Amino acid sequence: MKATAEAPANIAFIKYWGKADEHLRLPLNDSLSMNLSGAFTQTTVEFSEQYTRDEVHIIDATFSPEETARVSAGLDVIRTRAKCPFHARVVTKNTFPKGAGSAASASGFAALMTAGFAAANVSLPQKELTLFARLGSGSACRSIPSGFVVWEKGTSHETSYAYSLYDEHYWDLCDLLVIVDKRMKKVATSDGMRNVTTSPYLSSRLAAVPARLKRATEALARKDFAALGSVIEEDCLDMHRVMQTQVPPLPYWNEVTQTIMTAVPVWRTKGIPVYFTIDAGPNVHLICEEKDVSRVKAELTDISGIEEIIYNKVAKGARTISAHLF
């Protein structure tokens, strides 16, 4: 009754911000992402009658009581589906800072669900696993399938699922995740999204996303990097405009974030095809093709305030692994 899983974080090219159903975590719009090879979570779950409560431990970090309760709620979903009567011990570790807008909840819940169902000896079709991962954290459903992934918003638990458009071998895109602040963000995404309807820009965003998603998937199909990159940046700025005009506003960027955002178009004029995107935090994802990684890294050496750069290729989705954490 013990299993371990590894799941990648993902970076959304077309982003999800706002829920149609808070409890089921149904999003207001479809989204598209790429799984990240260098930013991932490993989690071991053991269900056993020896545990009198759920024991949740994260290596080299801490969980707040709310986060521990969210993990237990995820375990409840597994227990109900698997008809498992036992409490669990969970040990988890990330290769990247948790809670700084670099998608630890996505890899975290994808790993928890994959390990948890395996520990409970239940083998689910991938589509169903994406539904359960979504209940833990919306974007976690995109960390289950491999490579480039679409999350259909759906209208019910069963219809809001994620699937792979192309696997991790399709195109050698890279994401340099530039960490400019390792600290926890002050407002969790779940809390921030609750106020999304107070932004006057939400309706124009929701109207624009379907065409943008179409442009992004067509650019992916053609491997047209400039077309993909420009729609990625456009959607990032659009989501942040909504965040920044919510009440209360969510200004996630810091000075280094903005320095990089200003520099990236200048680098493009110098012939380096690179585009930025940013989630709910100050850290910047620089998307480029493998052939341009060293030139982007060289440009980054001129910018002060960078704490770490995590290099990512396109990754496969969540899977069980044999090395347990306890």
Return residues touching ligand PMV (CB under 6 A). 12, 15-17, 31, 103, 105-106, 137-139, 189-190, 279-280
Distance CA 257, CA 235 (A): 17
- Report whether 192 contacts 233 (CB < 8 A): no
Name the residue nearer to ligand PMV (CB basis): 112 or 120.
Answer: 112
- Report whether 186 contacts 65 (CB < 8 A): no
Least distance CB 31 / ligand PMV (angstroms):
5
For every residue of 202-253, DSSP letters joined together read HHHHHHHHHHHHHHHHHHHHHT-HHHHHHHHHHHHHHHHHHHHHSSS-----
Name the residue nearer to ligand PMV (CB basis): 137 or 257.
Answer: 137
Name the residue nearer to ligand PMV (CB basis): 9 or 119.
Answer: 9
Least distance CB 155 / ligand PMV (angstroms):
19
Name the residue nearer to ligand PMV (CB basis): 89 or 217.
Answer: 217
Burial bucket for residue 271 (CB in 10 Å: 0-12, 13-18, 19+): exposed
Least distance CB 224 / ligand PMV (angstroms):
22
Name the residue nearer to ligand PMV (CB basis): 119 or 239.
Answer: 239
Name the residue nearer to ligand PMV (CB basis): 138 or 317.
Answer: 138
- Report whether 220 contacts 165 (CB < 8 A): yes
Provide the token pair at 271: 């012939």
Name the residue nearer to ligand PMV (CB basis): 214 or 222.
Answer: 214
**320 contacts: CB under 8 Å, gap ≥ 6:** 3, 4, 5, 114, 115, 118
What b/e readout covers 302-323, taking b as 16+ CB neighbours within 10 angstroms?
Answer: eeeebeebbebbbbbbbeeeee
Least distance CB 36 / ligand PMV (angstroms):
12
- Report whether 15 contacts 69 (CB < 8 A): no
Least distance CB 52 / ligand PMV (angstroms):
31
Least distance CB 63 / ligand PMV (angstroms):
15
Least distance CB 322 / ligand PMV (angstroms):
28
Q: Give the residue from 119, 16, 116 showing the smallest Cα distance to 76.
A: 116
Name the residue nearer to ligand PMV (CB basis): 79 or 153.
Answer: 153
Tell me the three state secondary structure of residue 316. Answer: coil
* Pairing, β 87-94 against β 55-58: parallel
Least distance CB 150 / ligand PMV (angstroms):
12
Provide the token pair at 92: 């988890």
